[in-house]
Amino acid sequence: MQLFNAWYNLESNQAENIQSLISLFEKEGNSQIKASCDEDIEIFSAQDWKNFSEKQQQTLLLKYRLTYLKESTVNWCAALGTVLANDEVKDGFSERGGHPVEQKKMMQWSMRISAYAERLLQGLDTIDWPEPVKEMQRNWIGKSVGASVKFKIENTDNSIEVFTTRVDTIFGVSFLVIAPEHELVNSLTTKEQKNEIDNYIAQTKKKSELDRMADTKTTSGAFTGSYVINPANGEKVPIWIADYVLAGYGTGAVMGVPSGDQRDWLFAQKFNLPIIQILDSQANIATEAEATKEGKYINSDFINGLTYKEAIEKLNLWLETQKVGKAKINYRMRDAIFGRQRYWGEPIPVYFKDGLPHLIKEEELPLLLPEIDKYLPTETGEPPLARAENWTYQDQANYELSTMPGWAGSSWYWYRYMDAQNENQFASPESIAYWKDVDLYIGGSEHATGHLLYSRFWNKFLKDLGYVNEEEPFKKLINQGMIQGRSNFVYRVMDEDGKGTNTLVSAGLRKDFKTSALHVDVNIVENEILNLAKFKTWRPEFKDAEFILENGKYICGVEVEKMSKSKFNVVNPDDLIKSYGADTLRMYEMFLGPLEQSKPWNTNGIEGVFKFLRKFWRLYHNESWVFTVSNEKPSKEELKALHKIIKKVQEDIERFSFNTSVSSFMIAVNELTDLKCKSREILENMVIILSPYAPHICEELWHLLGKENLSYAQFPTFNPSYLEEAEFAYPISINGKMKMNLNLSLSLSENEATTAVLANEQIQKHLEGKTPKKIIFVKGKIVNIVI
């Protein structure tokens, strides 16, 4: 609601209530206002504003709001009557059922995250996050400095606006490409070209954005028949459409400069368009494009002879004075779509009256999901909420039918933890002032450009409105590795049109068919062999499935990928807890490897951790499993073992290296077992050190030791004097190859040490009578003899 009732003021560089915008409109119209808003805003005066009807005013405001309605393209599956996510579309067909999917335009709620692009970018420098994640976000925000240029359409008053980072190449333009979805395509297409354009658009509609992107090898496009005039030299430039240009980015139009851009070069090659050299440094443009900024301009009228920097400056000024363009900063990040055509999500608290969206009143919240007969779209393809009876506001106006996406909740939930019982506010100002932000956030890098960016966006917005105090929500971030799953696949045979059939072919035979791979539940697959009976009942669409078997079996394909419900490769840890206990599972997960590393889930080593915990328990017991500790003074060796582990665990916790701590615990327990240690002093400390790793067993032992409140026990202090050594077994290497170890006192100087080394008989043997050229001595590390 707040986002709907807000706009972004680029002057104060923060979000403000929509009321302040309305007052500005009333006072001075919109010509002086610097705001993040839709591109197609007309200029109006204060007087105009007052004369506008209520409806006109609201329509205009919608173009400024931070939550607004926007036409977006979605994957539409007519057979299922629903919108599909990208990962539910496989090769242009729905994963479920194999029905055709096409790109369809739809009015969708969006959020103007782009208003925050610069702040999201700058903020990265202030937070302690892994560099790769920051880098991904920087690339995602994608700031580029360039210019926008208007190309006038021949014989009309309209023009096409183009964004370019290389305005200096404007004299090399030999064509203009617009996205197939571009709103001007229809009006630009001439009678002669209509067939070709229609065909091309039909083809494009079948491709998802992902497909369009994956295929960089084929150059395709179609000529509209119309021309624009290059403002720089007045020349006629043909307008093409091509699917490498996306409607959603910039203006959905690109100027084609074949000499400087390889993609444009390929396009010009294929369709016989001129390739114009514009820099004297471009020597090989007959074979490939050269995106150089070196050299001086040629064939470029008034920038001939200038360098790159001079040309950019001159052109930007020229564009502005000619009123055909201006210098511009562009962000590749698009606004985020906020509506979902699903049932399970928060309903959007909006109703429609006279085609305009209105918010329900705040005291009417929360708006609860209505009951519906089945969680499916309607027969006419409307979202599930359309099934609800009387889903109307005050019995008159229709409610919005889409629901909110997952990130509506995930973008602010941590504030709820600060004040979870609060019934009136999302969190009280006092609790927010106390807790501030999240000190350490552990999350997977798969959220780098989704959740972690949306959260930063909402947090900044909440700060602008004074609800929270920190600019950034997560001070420090660590990427834990993803636990991956082994996914199994079946292969659906496709007919000549590429449509899915009812037949599935075993993995070994799939080369002979055109197939598309489908995830299958790992629980109905054993040793890659599919249980056919279970498969048929798994989902209704497979009831009558037919199989092409190999050796009487259906063999599934295997891939390792992230564990996810949608991939049907999730395993449940409950069974492990039942047989090994939660401590074992917890420690095993740590033992598996470094926190940041991804790996497939595998329980092969869990026995080792389980045995360790039993061995640890036995330290506190005698042979008959009776609790036994002694009050004897610990020996030197026992103290050494203890202080080794104190040091190690301290260091490991600092650097989040839990797997190495677990190994060290095993070493310590092995040592203490060998020493037959029963000393209370040692064993009490061991419980404290291990307790964060295996809390249950430690709590139990703590009680047996006659103590309470383990979580408040003081972590033991490391004493280095227990670890001091007088000697070190130096590795002696010859030409960098380790030959033997030699015990030397650590107090020896370099000279004394090398003398002692050369005096050694065995070393002389290794030297084979040769005189060393050089001896490298690193105290406490190594001796290397070069011969």
**Binders in 533-592 for RNA, by CB under 7 A:** 559-562, 591-592
Question: What is the distance between the alpha carbons of residues 593 and 596, in angstroms, rounded to a whole number?
Answer: 8
Spatial contact of 256 and 177, defined as CB atoms under 8 Å apart: yes
| Footprint on residues 692-731 left by RNA (CB under 7 A) | 729, 731
Least distance to RNA, CB of residue 786, Å: 5
Least distance to RNA, CB of residue 29, Å: 31
Q: Which of 29, 100, 123, 142 binds RNA (CB under 7 A)?
A: 142
Q: Which of 22, 136, 388, 408 binds RNA (CB under 7 A)?
A: 136
Question: What is the distance between the alpha carbons of residues 787 and 772, in angstroms, rounded to a whole number?
Answer: 5
Cα-Cα end-to-end distance for the chain:
78
Spatial contact of 490 and 537, defined as CB atoms under 8 Å apart: no
Instruction: Kindly indicate which of the ranges 31-39, 251-259, 296-304, 716-724 contains the residues binding RNA, using the contact rule CB under 7 A.
Output: 251-259
Question: What is the distance between the alpha carbons of residues 284 and 277, in angstroms, rounded to a whole number?
Answer: 10
Instruction: Kindly indicate which of the ranges 140-148, 278-286, 344-352, 530-538 contains the residues binding RNA, using the contact rule CB under 7 A.
Output: 140-148
Give bridge partners of residue 240 from the DSSP assignment: 177, 223
102-111 and 253-256: which strand pairing? unpaired
| Footprint on residues 449-468 left by RNA (CB under 7 A) | 449-450
Least distance to RNA, CB of residue 320, Å: 18
Mark residues 221-250: x for contact with RNA by CB under 7 A, - for none: ----------------------xxxx-xxx
The two tokens of residue 437 are 């932000």
Q: Classify each residue of 185-202 as buried b or exposed e, where b means 16 or more C-beta atoms within 10 Å of its C-beta.
A: beebbeeebeebbeebbe
Closest to RNA by CB, 163 vs 351, is 163
Q: Which of 280, 471, 651, 684 binds RNA (CB under 7 A)?
A: 651
Closest to RNA by CB, 58 vs 760, is 760
Spatial contact of 448 and 101, defined as CB atoms under 8 Å apart: no
Least distance to RNA, CB of residue 774, Å: 6
- Helix (H), strand (E) counts: the chain: 24, 34
Spatial contact of 234 and 251, defined as CB atoms under 8 Å apart: no
| Footprint on residues 71-130 left by RNA (CB under 7 A) | 86
Closest to RNA by CB, 492 vs 648, is 648
Give bridge partners of residue 438 from the DSSP assignment: 474
Closest to RNA by CB, 133 vs 188, is 133
Least distance to RNA, CB of residue 185, Å: 15
Q: Which of 56, 122, 622, 735 binds RNA (CB under 7 A)?
A: 735
| Footprint on residues 331-390 left by RNA (CB under 7 A) | 332-334
Closest to RNA by CB, 106 vs 359, is 106
Closest to RNA by CB, 549 vs 595, is 595
Spatial contact of 110 and 348, defined as CB atoms under 8 Å apart: no
> Any contact of residue 258 with RNA (CB under 7 A)?
no
Least distance to RNA, CB of residue 673, Å: 7
Closest to RNA by CB, 261 vs 681, is 261
Least distance to RNA, CB of residue 313, Å: 17
93-94 and 159-164: which strand pairing? unpaired
| Helix pair angle (606-619, 582-591), 10° resolution | 120
> Any contact of residue 166 with RNA (CB under 7 A)?
yes
Closest to RNA by CB, 293 vs 562, is 562
**Look-up: residue for tokens 């033991």?**
716
Closest to RNA by CB, 502 vs 735, is 735
Spatial contact of 163 and 328, defined as CB atoms under 8 Å apart: yes
Output 7-15 pairs: Cβ under 8 A, ≥24 positions apart: 7/35, 7/36, 7/37, 7/64, 7/65, 7/66, 8/35, 8/36, 8/66, 8/112, 8/115, 8/116, 9/34, 9/35, 10/34, 10/35, 10/36, 13/119, 14/464, 15/66, 15/115, 15/461, 15/464, 15/465
Closest to RNA by CB, 38 vs 559, is 559
Closest to RNA by CB, 165 vs 719, is 165
Q: Which of 146, 383, 384, 557 binds RNA (CB under 7 A)?
A: 146
Closest to RNA by CB, 170 vs 404, is 170
Q: Which of 128, 135, 235, 430 binds RNA (CB under 7 A)?
A: 135
> Any contact of residue 215 with RNA (CB under 7 A)?
yes
Instruction: Kindly indicate which of the ranges 50-58, 311-319, 570-578, 650-658 contains the residues binding RNA, using the contact rule CB under 7 A.
Output: 650-658
Closest to RNA by CB, 591 vs 722, is 591
The SS3 call for residue 257 is: coil
| Footprint on residues 481-510 left by RNA (CB under 7 A) | 482, 484
- Cα-Cα-Cα-Cα dihedral sign, residues 769, 774, 779, 783: negative
Question: What is the distance between the alpha carbons of residues 194 and 578, in angstroms, rounded to a whole number?
Answer: 68
Spatial contact of 491 and 518, defined as CB atoms under 8 Å apart: yes
Closest to RNA by CB, 277 vs 330, is 330
Least distance to RNA, CB of residue 413, Å: 20
Mark residues 417-446: x for contact with RNA by CB under 7 A, - for none: ---------------------------xxx
Q: Whose CA is closest to 232, among 304, 155, 146?
A: 304
Cis, peptide link before residue 366, omega less than 30° from 0:
yes
Instruction: Kindly indicate which of the ranges 232-240, 253-261, 491-499, 703-711 contains the residues binding RNA, using the contact rule CB under 7 A.
Output: 253-261
Mark residues 593-612: x for contact with RNA by CB under 7 A, - for none: xx--xxx--x-xx-xxx-xx
Least distance to RNA, CB of residue 396, Å: 38
| Footprint on residues 738-757 left by RNA (CB under 7 A) | 738-739, 741
Spatial contact of 625 and 617, defined as CB atoms under 8 Å apart: no
Least distance to RNA, CB of residue 595, Å: 9
> Any contact of residue 308 with RNA (CB under 7 A)?
no
Number of residues binding to RNA, judged by CB under 7 A: 94
Least distance to RNA, CB of residue 769, Å: 15
**In what helix (H) or strand (E) does residue 147 lie, and over which residues does it extend?**
strand 143-153
Least distance to RNA, CB of residue 608, Å: 2
Least distance to RNA, CB of residue 167, Å: 8
* Contact residues for 103 (Cβ-Cβ < 8 A; gap 6+): 73, 74, 75, 76, 181, 204, 205, 207, 208
Least distance to RNA, CB of residue 592, Å: 5
Cα–Cα separations (whole angstroms), residue 677 to 43, 633, 636? 85, 10, 11
SS (H, E, C) 563-628: CCHHHCCCCCCHHHHHHHCHHHHHHHHHHCCCCCCCEECCCCCHHHHHHHHHHHHHHCECCCCCEC
Question: What is the distance between the alpha carbons of residues 659 and 649, in angstroms, rounded to a whole number?
Answer: 10
Instruction: Kindly indicate which of the ranges 212-220, 402-410, 630-638, 714-722 contains the residues binding RNA, using the contact rule CB under 7 A.
Output: 212-220
> Any contact of residue 165 with RNA (CB under 7 A)?
yes
Q: Whose CA is closest to 235, among 264, 265, 273?
A: 273
